[in-house]
């Protein structure tokens, strides 16, 4: 796990040395263990290293023997050992033991098809000096982030958009066309971001840049298959694939651990980790509020049975106001997700002991855990949309422009949606979440919160083989009555009969409404005076909105407004926020 960046100008262009150094400085938190910069005329590659595999010899950029092709990568290639063995059998000589170097030689062998051979999470850049071409690529699930901006005479890219701003590659301005999506969904999906002129490399996308211009793109979706009923024993098949997935994600030369919520996904993962390694380091967070569910007791029961080395932290309302500005700075590609706040504190605590964390993201999308997947005939009668109408519904008068999510197919909504031909209705819902909600909210949140404290996050439920198996399960293996994730729960109940796996899913949430309501008068002045909100809201309507007690939906919108105001101060105006809450 690292931070990568670079610049590629048109022929004859010269890169000022301060710009690569600025990119490296802006990404230092992602890679505190080392820095590598390659600069050749009109191209520069920047790498900040968090050493996980080949700690001693895996510094980047890595170049081929002729010094013609160079690679930098953020992520982990989990099948690197088998790739390395196959390439060595063909006579390829390796300089390092890094998991990144096989990708370099695969590019030399297969060209742009090299990504088809990689299993893992990655955002990478290859510069081919012979072809005078730059290749940017991202894994199909979008586990690792990558952004770019077109600079007139060239292109710059980085693991985080804020790095492009800080290095002077682009001027910080708001992209107004995506505000509707942010305030309705709490995140921006697809290629565009809240920054004008900064775009995402899409999940599974390969961009080719020549003479400072993007000349071609190709994109592959995750290998999501239609329903299959060829497996005789689904539980045994799941156990085999799950063990292989977790085992692959445990490859590390540094200390690792797991985030344990007490829910189905994290409990199953920790149980399998313990079976493989015999000892696991676990971390759990809970709340000092009765307004939300707290699964710390479930986590305690499991760690007591497994004998894991366990740390439990409490997230308080004081923590809420302490970490909120930190969250909005870390989440430069802004999402207003409450869960990022305790995740930040959990990451800060874990960083004192480990450099790699496994977490359960992807389990709900792959094995159908969300309640919205279990739709009834009532939903059809009421013509209820799958993911609701958005959080600005009923608050249209608050904004100067109508706030609604962009239409699918627009540039701001552009993404790889898997071909739904032959999919069941359930699979179509899953595919929709996998194409945007997963990479543009959940995985982005994990990346930024962990990388803020120099930790690599790994998500074994998105292992290629396990995910393909889970998505292709018959619907009845995923949903049964009011239960989602039926197969995973069945497996876990057989492994640990003492766990209450069949109870209603409680989810992981934060008592935001109570905490926002309690301090409403203290932060109202900050919101009313905020330059970012003045540009997009009617002052009188905002004042009226903040004067009324919050119901659940109003509290959600108030949180989105607070996050946007803090983000605008941090990343557009580059000032310390004037938010003061006792």
Q: Are residues 212 and 339 in the same domain?
A: no
Q: Between 564 and 263, whose confidence is greater?
A: 564
Q: Considering only CA atoms, which of 430, 508, 511, 509 is closest in space to residue 264?
A: 508
Q: What pLDDT, on the 0 to 100 scale, is given for residue 58?
A: 87
Token pair in block for residue 545 = 């909105």
Q: Are residues 186 and 320 in the same domain?
A: no
Question: What H or E segment, with its residue span, contains residue 7?
Answer: strand 2-9
The pLDDT of residue 228 is: 72
| Arithmetic mean of pLDDT, 5-29 | 95
Q: Is residue 577 part of a domain?
A: no
Residue in 243, 302, 306, 236 with CA at minimum distance from that of residue 272? 243
Considering the domain architecture, whether residues 92 and 240 belong to the same structural domain is answered as no
Positive or negative, the CA dihedral 385, 390, 394, 397 is negative
In terms of C-beta density within 10 A (0-12 exposed, 13-18 middle, 19 or more buried), how is residue 571 classed? buried
In this structure, how many other beta carbons lie within 10 angstroms of the beta carbon of residue 475? 15
| Whether pLDDT at 414 is above 50 | no
Domain endpoint, select from 189, 219, 249: 219
Contact 75, 123 (CB under 8 A): yes
Residue matched to tokens 């592959």:
220
Q: Is residue 523 part of a domain?
A: no
pLDDT greater than 50 at residue 233: yes
Q: Nearest CA to 306 among 269, 346, 348? A: 269
Does residue 381 sit in the same domain as residue 482? yes
Asked if residue 553 belongs to a domain, the reply is no
Domain boundary among 219, 250, 275: 219
- Cβ(262)–Cβ(304) under 8 Å? no
**Interval 498-506 mean pLDDT:** 75
CA 535 to chain centre: 29
pLDDT attached to residue 413: 42
Interstrand relation of 120-128 and 133-138 (parallel, antiparallel or unpaired): antiparallel
Say if 49 falls within a structural domain.
yes
Q: Are residues 196 and 288 in the same domain?
A: no
CA dist., res. 363 & res. 370, Å (int): 10
What is the arithmetic mean of pLDDT over 444-466? 97
Asked if pLDDT for residue 439 goes beyond 80, the answer is: yes
Q: How confident is the model at residue 411 (pLDDT cuts 50, 70, 90)?
A: very low
The pLDDT tens digits for 31-82 are 999 999 999 889 999 999 988 887 888 899 999 999 999 999 999 999 999 9
**Interstrand relation of 213-219 and 205-210 (parallel, antiparallel or unpaired):** antiparallel
Are 254 and 295 in the same domain?
yes
Q: Which residue has the higher pLDDT, 54 or 454?
A: 454
Other Cβ atoms closer than 10 A to 179: 21
Question: Any idea what the Cα angle at residue 141 is, between residues 135 and 146, rounded to 5°?
Answer: 40
Q: Are residues 433 and 288 in the same domain?
A: yes
DSSP, residue by residue, 462-514: G-HHHHHHHHTS-HHHH-BTTBSSHHHHHHHHHH-TTS-TTSPP------HHH
Q: Where would I find the beta strands (DSSP E) of 25-174? A: 34-40, 43-49, 62-63, 69-77, 120-128, 133-138, 147-150, 154-158
332 within some domain: yes
Give the CATH number, domain containing residue 485.
3.40.50.620
Q: Are residues 251 and 195 in the same domain?
A: no
Q: Which two tokens stand for residue 503?
A: 């109870």
Cβ neighbours of 236 (radius 10 Å):
11
Range 334-357 average pLDDT: 96
Cβ atoms of 192 and 201 closer than 8 Å:
no
Q: Is 510 inside a domain boundary?
A: no
Which structural domain, as residue segments, surrounds residue 297?
234-390+422-495
CA distance 173 to 179: 13
Residue 404 has pLDDT above 90, yes or no: no
Q: Angle at Cα 209 formed by Cα 97 and Cα 17, nearest 5°?
A: 75
- In angstroms, the CA 14 to CA 282 distance is 49
Neighbours of 180 (CB within 10 A): 20
Single out the residue of 277, 45, 11 nearest to residue 157, CA to CA.
45
Q: What is the pLDDT of residue 384?
A: 56
Q: What would the mean pLDDT of 188-206 be, rounded to a whole number?
A: 97
Sequence-ordered list of residues with C-beta below 8 angstroms from that of 316, at least 6 positions apart, any chain: 287, 288
In sequence order, what are the residues at sequence separation of 6 or more whose Cβ sits closer than 8 angstroms to the Cβ of residue 84? 94, 101, 102
pLDDT over threshold 50, residue 261: yes
Q: How confident is the model at residue 501 (pLDDT cuts 50, 70, 90)?
A: confident
Pair (168, 246) in one structural domain: no
Choice between 411 and 356, residue whose per-residue pLDDT is larger = 356
Residues 19 and 67 in one domain: yes
Q: What is the pLDDT of residue 503?
A: 74
Domain boundary among 495, 517, 544: 495
Higher pLDDT, 221 or 527: 527
The total number of structural domains in the chain stands at: 2
- Same-domain pairing of 213 and 281: no
Q: What angle do CA 295, 296, 297 make, to 5 degrees?
A: 90
CA distances from residue 135 to 138, 205, 568 in whole angstroms, order as listed: 10, 10, 32
Distance CA 402, CA 577 (A): 27
- Per-residue model confidence (pLDDT) at position 292: 57
The model scores a pTM over 0.85: yes
pLDDT band of residue 499 (cuts 50, 70, 90) is confident
pLDDT of 1 over the 80 cut:
no
Task: Report yes or no on 528 lying in a domain.
Answer: no
Number of H-type helices and E-type strands within the chain: 22, 17
For the segment 105-123, what is each residue's pLDDT rounded down to a tens digit? 999 999 999 999 999 999 9
Give the domain CATH number at 13: 3.60.20.10
Residue, of 228 and 276, whose pLDDT is higher: 276
Name the 3-class secondary structure at 399: strand
CA–CA separation, 166 and 481 (whole Å) = 51
The more confidently predicted of residues 29 and 305 is 29
Q: Which of 275, 219, 221, 276 lies closest to 247 in space, CA to CA?
A: 276
Task: Find tokens 């359930």 and name the residue.
Answer: 426
Please give the average per-residue pLDDT across 525-554, as a whole number: 95
- Whether 578 is in a domain gets the answer no
SS3 letters across 270-313: HHHHHHHHCCCEEEEEEECCCCCCCCHHHHHHHHHHHCCEEEEE
Mean pLDDT across 488-498: 94
Residue-wise pLDDT tens digits, 123-153: 999 999 999 999 999 999 999 999 999 998 9
Stretch among 25-29, 109-113, 278-282 having the lowest mean pLDDT? 278-282
pLDDT at 403: 66
- Does residue 246 sit in the same domain as residue 215? no
Q: What whole-number percentage of the chain has pLDDT above 70?
A: 91
In the predicted model, is pLDDT for residue 421 greater than 90?
no
Predicted confidence at residue 37, as pLDDT, reads 96
CA distances from 483 to 110, 261, 371, 478 (A): 45, 19, 8, 8
- Whether pLDDT at 443 is above 50: yes
């Amino acid at each position: 796990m690292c931070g990568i960046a670079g610049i590629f100008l048109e022929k004859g262009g010269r890169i000022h040395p301060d710009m690569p150094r600025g990119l490296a400085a802006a990404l230092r938190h992602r890679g505190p263990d080392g820095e590598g910069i390659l600069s050749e005329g009109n191209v520069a590659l920047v790498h900040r290293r968090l050493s996980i595999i080949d700690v001693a010899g895996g510094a980047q950029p890595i170049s081929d023997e002729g010094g013609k092709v160079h690679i930098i990568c953020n992520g982990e290639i989990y099948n690197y050992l088998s790739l390395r063995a196959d390439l060595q059998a063909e006579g390829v000589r390796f300089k390092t033991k890094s998991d990144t170097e096989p990708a370099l030689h695969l590019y030399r062998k297969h060209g742009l098809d090299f990504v088809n051979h990689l299993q893992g999470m990655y955002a990478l850049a290859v510069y081919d000096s012979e072809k005078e071409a730059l290749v940017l690529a991202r894994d199909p699930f979008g586990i690792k982030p990558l952004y770019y901006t077109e600079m007139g005479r060239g292109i710059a890219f980085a693991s985080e958009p804020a790095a492009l701003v800080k290095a002077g590659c682009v001027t910080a301005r708001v992209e107004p066309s995506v505000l509707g999506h942010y305030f309705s969904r709490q995140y921006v999906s697809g290629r565009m971001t809240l920054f004008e002129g900064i775009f995402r490399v899409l999940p599974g996308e390969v961009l080719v840049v020549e003479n400072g211009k993007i000349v071609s793109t190709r994109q592959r979706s995750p290998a999501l298959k239609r329903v299959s009923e060829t497996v005789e024993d689904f539980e045994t098949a799941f156990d085999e694939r799950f063990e292989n997935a977790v085992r692959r994600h445990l490859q590390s030369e540094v200390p690792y651990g797991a985030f344990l919520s007490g829910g189905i996904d994290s409990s199953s993962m920790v149980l399998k980790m313990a079976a493989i390694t015999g000892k696991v380091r676990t971390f759990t967070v809970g709340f000092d509020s009765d307004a939300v569910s707290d699964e710390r007791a479930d986590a305690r029961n499991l760690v007591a049975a497994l004998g894991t080395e366990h740390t439990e932290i409490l997230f308080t309302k004081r923590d809420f106001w302490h970490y909120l500005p930190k969250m909005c700075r870390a989440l430069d590609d802004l999402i207003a997700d409450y869960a990022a706040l305790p995740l930040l504190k959990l990451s800060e605590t874990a960083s004192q002991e480990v450099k790699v964390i496994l977490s359960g993201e992807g389990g709900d999308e792959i094995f159908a855990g969300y309640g919205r997947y279990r739709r009834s005939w009532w939903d059809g009668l009421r013509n209820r949309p799958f993911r609701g109408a958005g959080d600005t519904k009923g608050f249209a008068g608050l904004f100067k422009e109508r706030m609604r999510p962009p239409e699918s197919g627009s540039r701001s909504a552009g993404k790889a949606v898997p071909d739904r031909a032959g999919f069941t209705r359930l699979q179509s819902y899953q595919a929709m979440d996998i194409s945007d909600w997963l990479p543009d909210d959940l995985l982005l949140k994990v990346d930024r919160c962990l990388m803020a404290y120099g930790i690599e996050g790994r998500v074994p439920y998105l292992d290629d083989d396990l995910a393909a198996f889970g998505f292709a399960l018959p619907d009845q293996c995923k949903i049964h009555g009011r239960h989602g994730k039926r197969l995973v729960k069945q497996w876990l109940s057989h492994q640990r009969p003492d766990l209450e796996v069949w109870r209603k899913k409680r989810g992981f949430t934060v008592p935001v409404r109570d905490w926002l309501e309690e301090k409403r008068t203290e932060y109202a002045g900050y919101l009313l005076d905020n330059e970012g909100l003045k540009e997009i809201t009617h002052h009188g309507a905002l004042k009226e909105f903040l004067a009324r007690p919050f119901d659940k939906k109003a509290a959600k919108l108030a949180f989105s407004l607070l996050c946007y105001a803090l983000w605008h101060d941090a990343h557009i105006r580059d000032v310390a926020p004037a938010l003061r809450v006792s």
